[in-house]
Amino acid sequence: MEKINVVNLTKIFGSHQEKALRLLDKGISKDEIFNKTGQIVGLADINFTISQGEILVVMGLSGSGKSTLIRCINRLVEPSKGQVFINGTDISTLDRNALLELRRQKFGMVFQHFALFPHRNVLDNVAFGLEIQRMDEELRYEKARSALKLVGLEDWEVAKPSQLSGGMQQRVGLARALAVEPDILLMDEAFSALDPLIRGDMQNELLTLQARMHKTILFITHDLDEALKIGNRVVLMKDGQIVQIGTPEEIVLSPANEYVQKFIENVDKSKILTARSILISTDIIASPTDSPQAIFTNMQDNCLTRILVVKSDNTLLGTVSMEGIQIAISRNEQTIANLIETDVPTATINDSLKILISILAEWRWQLPIVNEQHKLLGIVNHHNVLAALK
């Protein structure tokens, strides 16, 4: 389900927008338009959608248009052209009262500089949005306390913002946004003012909350590592235009152009790439009812010293070693059912290469990749992990 749909969104800053729009339609660059007209192209023909429960991160350097984009989405800035649909409603058609109601009911906003009221305690700061909605006092404090509990600040209700660390103040800002129970969270450089360690903690906190709440989140950042860490998809912007949209893995593995390539050249791929991107399917498996002699031949033909054993429905049971097979043959055993070693490490397709490397450091054979039902999806090995990092 689409929560946000942005269609041909363009923003020109200046008093002669029509002239700039005509030049933009002809493919004239942002710099040329400014030189010819004095108009500034903030956004140029932006298109994307955000699905229910998705974190979409918009990333770019200063002047790329990312902050203009988020302000057009809540109509704090009026677009020059194009449309923004929220739950299917074109927000450009809303009058002032309807727009205010949309912002109060649908959006929760978290800013870079916290925007807390210094004279209010933590609880009153969190309850502010509900107070604006004229919610009954008892109910709004109940909701505010629930939001504080979500971010781990339930014991700080009466504290003033000045008594809190930067990270705690940002948690209050996040709780205030969550208290109104919004469909959509708009987060504009929300963690940029925090120290690196606190920033990492807040990123983890956001991902933990998202796993529980499944909000639709538009997150603005200039930090590529942050974008790749928290985004289900990333929109990379330059000069008011979208350069590439994709999952973190897609951007790292298939940069759209040299500009994106330069961005990602120093990215730690082991944190971004997952087993999904290097998974190898395998038909070289055994069944518990197979004979030792048949498995011995199969392992010899494929130069294996250990083979995976699965049930008929592809559920992983474990492995059998060549040494075990040879012993079974010498004993004239009919199947390999009694040879299966079940103490086998596994991983999922969403596990990062960093996790796979830590497992493969202790396990020198093929590493099985399984789903939630423990069915075998494929394997990874030392070679293809190293190849991906290269």
Low-confidence ranges of the chain (pLDDT < 70): 114
Looking at this protein, which amino acid is placed at residue 83? Q
Provide the token pair at 118.
């210094």
CA distance 259 to 254: 12
Q: What are the angstrom distances between the C-alpha of 218 and each of 233, 253, 281?
A: 10, 23, 35
Q: In CATH, which of 3.40.50.300, 3.30.110.30, 3.30.43.10, 2.60.20.30 is domain 2-269?
A: 3.40.50.300
For the stretch 72-110, pLDDT in tens is 999 999 999 999 999 999 999 999 999 988 888 888 888
Nearest by Cα to 352 from 265, 281, 256, 278: 278
CATH topology identical between 2-269 and 276-389? no
Burial 241-275, CB ≥16 within 10 A → b, else e? bbbbbbbbeebbbebeeeebeebbeebebbbbbbb
Residue pair 299/336 in contact by the 8 Å Cβ criterion: no
Q: What is the DSSP string of 68-125?
A: HHHHHHTTSS--SEEEEEETTEEGGG--HHHHHHHHHHHEEEE-TT----TTS-HHHH
∠ CA 144-148-149, nearest 5°, is 120
Residue 376 is predicted with a pLDDT of: 93
Residue 11 is predicted with a pLDDT of: 94
Within 10 A of 285 (CB to CB), how many other CB atoms are there? 17
Break the chain down into helix, strand, coil percent, rounded to 5.
40, 25, 35
Residue 114 is predicted with a pLDDT of: 67
Residue 199 is predicted with a pLDDT of: 82
Residue reference for tokens 């699965």: 310
For residues 352, 354, 360 and 365, what is the CA-based torsion angle, rounded to 10 degrees?
Answer: 30
For the stretch 45-59, pLDDT in tens is 999 999 999 999 999
Nearest by Cα to 184 from 116, 112, 93, 85: 85
**276-389 maps to which CATH number?**
3.10.580.10
CA distance 81 to 291: 70
Residue 193 gets which letter from DSSP?
A: T
Domain ranges of the chain: 2-269, 276-389
Nearest by Cα to 283 from 303, 307, 300: 307
Nearest by Cα to 151 from 129, 130, 123, 131: 123
